[in-house]
Amino acid sequence: MAIDFRGCYILYNFWHSILSFMKTKIIKAIIFGPQGSGKGTQGNLLSERLNIPIIGAGDVFRAEIAKKTKLGNLVNQYVQQGLLAPDEVVNAIIARQLKKIKLDKGFIFDGYPRNVDQAIYLDKLITINLAIQLKINDEEVIERLQYRSQCSKCKTIYHDKEAPPVKPGQCSVCGGKLTKRADDRPEIIAQRLKAYHFMTEPLAAYYRQKGVLLVINANQSIPYVFEDVIKKMSKLGFIV
């Protein structure tokens, strides 16, 4: 039996649609981990590699504050006092942001949800199908952040041991003065880690129960962590 051109064409279309369906498993991800886990870096790398937007909660809040919206002003009051804004305010801002952006290509959330209550709220808006947890030892975080300095001009980050500047105390990019970030002091780091374990880490159990948790060993260096993320995401069928 001979297959005519029309038959070939139909067959071709059939396989083509199946393949493109496989390619478009939409990533609806969140990424979480403590300060110093490389969460921002990995989120950005993923966003570039997969060509999907990263929604940084911090950026969203800062934009809201800059626009002086009602919610922005409210958040600012908490930020000024060094406090976290309450869930209702944070959720409202995120809900509004979600309406503004096209989500059909997929997305990664960074910095939200910060606790299980926020995760429950997010689930009502959109179903998350991948929760990437960057797991790192407290000692490693302390080690990383203690030796970290930042250029006061161009904001480049240095690490005294792993990525030192050419001249001590001076930015290799722009010559600016290197300073310690106020929140990189040991006692502040310890406080933040405690808050992370108490508040944010329970997200792991929450998303594990939903069957979407992906745990990554973030004690490794940036390229290894990223390789691990990509490998595991491929196995799960998010990357064809």
Chosen residue from 108, 134, 171, 233 binding Zn ion by CB under 5 A: 171
Q: Label the pairing between strands 130-135 and 178-179.
A: unpaired
Q: Write out the two tokens for 163.
A: 């990525």
DSSP type of residue 170: B
Q: What binding mask, one character per residue, do residues 117-156 give for Zn ion by CB under 5 A, x or -?
A: ----------------------------------x-xx-x
Instruction: Please confirm, yes or no, whether 114 is among the known catalytic residues.
Output: yes
CA 184/CA 188 separation, integer angstroms? 7
Helix segments in 24-56, DSSP class H: 39-50
Catalytic position from the list 49, 70, 181, 231: 181
**Smallest separation (angstroms) from Zn ion to the CB of 153:** 5
Which among 44-52, 135-143, 163-171, 204-212 is the span making contact with Zn ion, rule CB under 5 A? 163-171
Nearer to Zn ion, 153 or 194 (CB): 153
Instruction: Please confirm, yes or no, whether 49 is among the known catalytic residues.
Output: no
Taking the CA atoms of 113, 116, 122 and 123 in sequence, report the sign of the dihedral they define: positive
**Smallest separation (angstroms) from Zn ion to the CB of 154:** 3
> How many residues appear in the chain?
240
Chosen residue from 71, 84, 98, 173 binding Zn ion by CB under 5 A: 173
Nearer to Zn ion, 170 or 220 (CB): 170
DSSP string, 199-220: IITTHHHHHHHTT-EEEEETTS
Taking the mean position of all CA atoms in its chain, how far away is CA 142?
Answer: 20
Is residue 172 within the footprint of Zn ion (CB under 5 A)?
A: no
Q: Write out the two tokens for 152.
A: 């006061």
Taking the mean position of all CA atoms in its chain, how far away is CA 126?
Answer: 17
Q: Tokens 């991800």 correspond to what residue? A: 29
Which among 10-18, 105-113, 167-175, 193-201 is the span making contact with Zn ion, rule CB under 5 A? 167-175
Catalytic position from the list 192, 208, 210, 232: 192
Instruction: Please give the positions annotated as active site.
Output: 39, 114, 148, 181, 192
Which residues would be at the binding site for Zn ion (CB under 5 A)? 151, 153-154, 156, 171, 173-174, 176
